[in-house]
Chains A and B, each alone.
Chain A
Amino acid sequence: MFNSKKLSTVLIIILSLSILFLGIYAFASEGQEAAREAAKEIVPGSTTPWWVWPLVLFVVTFVLGILAVLGGVGGGVLFVPIVGGFFPFNIDFVRGAGLLVALAGALAAGPGLLKRNLASLRLAIPVALIASAAAIVGAMIGLALKPNVVNILLGATILFIVLIMAIAKKSDFPKVPHPDKLSQALEITGIYREESLGKDVEWNVHRTPQGLALFIIIGVMAGMFGLGAGWANVPVLNLLMGAPLKISVATSKFLLSITDTSAAWVYLNQGAVLPMIVVPSIVGIMLGSMVGVKILVKAKPKAIKWMVIVLLLFAGTRALLKGLEIWK
């Protein structure tokens, strides 16, 4: 267990940093010709009547909403690569919509998770400050990059998420022998009722400084790609910092409502939000999630998890090849 934790943490750091540095490098070296290059993209089916695409978008996001719940991932991580790869919308508008989709989902889930004491405000508040500030930087970098650079980085990130989903182990109740000084000073601790065990579980966290440092990278990536960051939040909160899995998942979901807010404002202020893309997507994902919750009772989660992994693998490869102009 220790090895897999260590391995996934090291992998997260190496790959995230590579992507981040590549992004910053590209950001620094690109510039004015971005607009010209974007206009060269050829989008199939762009002469279709306007109402067809929002309708298809609604149907697709409805299905994504179901899959997201059954596969245990956030809607944003499926939304951006799939809509960005197969719809005629520019990746700027898709990322703006992706952030708002993730934000709406997090806002809807937040109150219930907070009231049931599964999402911890004491854990979320320090993490949110780091992640939301970093997400602003990520959004600004993302909007300045050329679309094909964004697609390459997005594709690489999605393929990395697939790797995390496939290999990362989760720990229901990680052992935290010695809470670190920072978490003690901030009193990041709690008790929640674990219904499956019929008992109360007391939890603490450790390695808080390392966890907070990783949230800088997570925030930048969330803002840059318009992805919800649950795929990265949960492993850091659970495997690195030692919060119980339920607390990690719930706090991560709530955390997105703050992290994505800061990045979403940058997209909104830069005019990268089109209501024609945003609203059908939010409504589709939310309705799909409601249906997904009902199906979840009867479904086989493991089979669906692998289905989502294959879907992400396909979407990630598509984004990568689109960015490399191999598959336009």
Chain B
Amino acid sequence: MTEDRKKASEEQLAYAGVLNIGMWIGLALLVITFILYISGVLPSYVPIEKLSEIPQGSNVPYWGMRAHEFNQAFNVPTGWGWTSLVAKGDYLNFVGIAMLGGLSILCYLVILPILIRKKDTAYVVIAIFEVLVLALAASGILKAGGH
């Protein structure tokens, strides 16, 4: 029994396995897509050189603007709207970012069957709620106020 408790549990190892593979794929995607972006292989939706430019009537460059002002200035879609711009160099980077963001949801979905099989009811319930919380955050339904 003590020997068993010294080792990581089955669900812990399963979680670690998925996290490990997903993390490397996500980071690799992030670096590759960024190289494509700054090299100009793919056209950018917001031209790179514009980011540091100060627009007329403002004291700050575009990347010094608040997020919602920046989005208005370039007509950038919020939520999952970026997927429609994925052919553009800048928004292609969001694939890697979204992959890293979605990894925890995937890990929970992987350990859920193990927890169910072990009849670990409390953790099954908590894990389901966690998936729902992360899915809600990822859904884009939630909007911050002030603009």
Known contacts A129-B126, A269-B140: does B65 contact A39 (CB below 8 Å)? yes
- In the complex, are the beta carbons of A275 and B65 less than 8 A apart? no
Chain A residues near B70 (CB, 8 Å)?
A: 90, 93, 271
Within the complex, the shortest CB–CB distance from A100 to chain B, in Å, comes to 7
Chain A contact-residue range equals 35 or more
Chain B residues near A262 (CB, 8 Å)?
A: 133-134, 137
- In the complex, are the beta carbons of A114 and B27 less than 8 A apart? no
Count contacts between A and B, CB distance < 8 Å: 243
Known contacts A264-B101, A275-B94, A279-B30: does B15 contact A121 (CB below 8 Å)? yes
Q: How far is the CA of A153 from the CA of B18 in the complex (A)?
A: 37
For A135, give the chain B residue with the smallest CB separation: B137
- In the complex, are the beta carbons of A279 and B67 less than 8 A apart? no
Chain A residues near B69 (CB, 8 Å)?
A: 35, 38-39
Choose among A35, A128, A129 the residue that contacts B147 (Cβ–Cβ < 8 A): A35
- In the complex, are the beta carbons of B90 and A270 less than 8 A apart? no
User: Is the CB of B6 closer than 8 A to any CB of chain A?
Assistant: yes
Q: How far is the CA of A276 from the CA of B34 in the complex (A)?
A: 8
Binary B-proximity of A81-121 (CB < 8 A = 1, otherwise 0): 00000001110110010001001100110111011110011
- In the complex, are the beta carbons of A258 and B104 less than 8 A apart? yes
Most central of A30, A53, A268 by chain B CB within 10 Å? A268
Chain A residues near B139 (CB, 8 Å)?
A: 269
Q: How far is the CA of A283 from the CA of B137 in the complex (A)?
A: 25
Q: How far is the CA of A263 from the CA of B134 in the complex (A)?
A: 9
Chain A residues near B60 (CB, 8 Å)?
A: 38-39, 41-43, 46, 88, 90
- In the complex, are the beta carbons of A115 and B13 less than 8 A apart? yes
Q: How far is the CA of A274 from the CA of B76 in the complex (A)?
A: 12
Chain A residues near B64 (CB, 8 Å)?
A: 41, 43, 46, 88-90
Binary A-proximity of B104-147 (CB < 8 A = 1, otherwise 0): 11000001000000000011001101100110111110111111
Most central of A50, A191, A202 by chain B CB within 10 Å? A50
Q: Which candidate, A143-151, A161-169, A303-311, is the interface stretch facing chain B?
A: A143-151
- In the complex, are the beta carbons of A269 and B142 less than 8 A apart? yes
Known contacts A43-B64, A46-B52, A46-B64: does B127 contact A34 (CB below 8 Å)? no
Given A121-B9, A270-B144, 10 new contacts (CB under 8 A): A40-B59, A90-B60, A100-B97, A110-B19, A132-B137, A265-B137, A268-B98, A273-B94, A274-B63, A279-B30
